Structure formats: structure tokens, C-alpha cells
Amino acid sequence: MDAGTTALLERAAALVAERLRAPRRTAVEDVFLQLVVPAVSAAEAGNYGVAAALLVTEGDRELTVVARNSMLTDGDPCAHAETNVLAGFRMGPSRSRDVGFAMRTRSNGAPPGPATLLCTTVEPCPMCTVAILNAGIDQVVWAVADDGGGAFDESRAERLPPVFVQARSRMKAGPVSTDPASELFVAGSVVDILGEAFRTGRDELDARLVDTGVLDVGRGWERAVSALDMGGRSP
């Protein structure tokens, strides 16, 4: 961990503590406050500084699943925060590594929310956009726009194949708001630090993707050979 990332992590923790003392917060901001430290921690580990949460509501109970980008540390080109959180929910706590789960009972009189809400610190990329659309999530909210790589903003989603454009049109989706009167309000200081987490190390990671990619061929080879040697299935 370098000094810059250490300082960012300390500022992130302090900001979360400060905002949790704020007298008025939206439910959406409470979700993003859970993502600040994971996003910075992802960058600290050498991954893209992105984290995501999936909220699933059933009756008076709400399940929250939190994951972060682990593409480089896992050697997995598909291990973005959004795909990790969807996979974690599908597999469950006992089979999900580095994915957090929490259940709470919604208070009486709480306004009904979407059955599935995905919050991500950065606008989803094309791969994650398609995964989210395939999943049928009801609402998607992000904190930081990604003009260079995002695909969920309405203006960018128009370039997707028609089936995904249609799927995108049926759901609620958009960025958080810094207007305190909005139900999607998230403090500007929170948005700023999430943007800083995303920018940390991004140029180096982008260069690696262009140069060599991140697939850990050696690790995959060893696992496949080991499984086959133990009587695993062959194609």
C-alpha cells in the first residue's frame, strides 16, 4: 500500500463517519456510504476502485449484498464490482469470497422500494451493463459518470444492440443527485471521493488491459489440469 492510497483510505473512513453523523441522509446515500471504503480498498489492492451493492426486497425484509472490483487480484477479466455482486447474490454467502451480506427488517411505514436496486460507485461499463440488463434489475443508480468507458447513461446506452436498448428503457436508471431535495441525494464529498478512488491507478490498469490483459492463464491452467487429473470432466 503506498502513502497516497493509505491517506485516501483514511480520508474515506473519516468521511463515512462524518456523514453517518449527519442529521438528514437519504436511503440511497446510506447505501453509497457502505461502498466508500470497499471502493478505495479495491484500488488499494491494485484493482479498479469500484464497489457495488445489490438490494433485494421481499416483504418487510431487505437483503444487501456488497462487492468490489477484483479483476486484477483474481486474474479474472469478468470480476467487476457489478458482476461480482450479481454472482455473489446468485451463489449465496457460503460460496462467495470477499462479498458481504446483510439482512435488515424494514421499518413500518417505510415507502416501498424497487424489488431489486443496484447501486454502483461508477457508471457500469458495457459488459456490466449487459449483465445487469440480463439480470432484470429494477433500478440502477451510480455516483460517478464514466465518459470514457460507461454504457448505462441513456445517451450511451443507445449504442447497445436493440434488445438491450429495449431492456434499458423499461427500468429506472441514472446518477445520484447532489440536490438535497432529491430522493437520490448523495453528498458531493462522497461523490468526489468515489471519483478519486476510481481514478487511482486507472491509467496503469487501462494500459495493462491494452498490453496484456488480466486473465491469469497460469492459474487457470493449473486448476484445469488438477481437476482433470482428479477425474474431472473433459470437453
pLDDT reported for residue 234: 54
**From start to end of the chain, where are the E strands?**
51-58, 61-68, 100-105, 116-122, 139-144, 172-175
pLDDT reported for residue 140: 98
pLDDT reported for residue 146: 97
Asked whether the CA dihedral 203, 215, 140, 63 is positive or negative, the reply is: negative
Judge contact between 181 and 187, C-beta under 8 A.
Answer: no
CA–CA separation, 226 and 232 (whole Å): 8
pLDDT reported for residue 134: 97
What is the value of pTM for the model shown? 0.91
pLDDT reported for residue 182: 97
pLDDT reported for residue 49: 97
Q: Which residues of the chain have pLDDT under 50?
A: none
Q: Which domains does the chain have, with CATH numbers?
A: 3-229 (3.40.140.10)
CA–CA separation, 105 and 184 (whole Å): 21
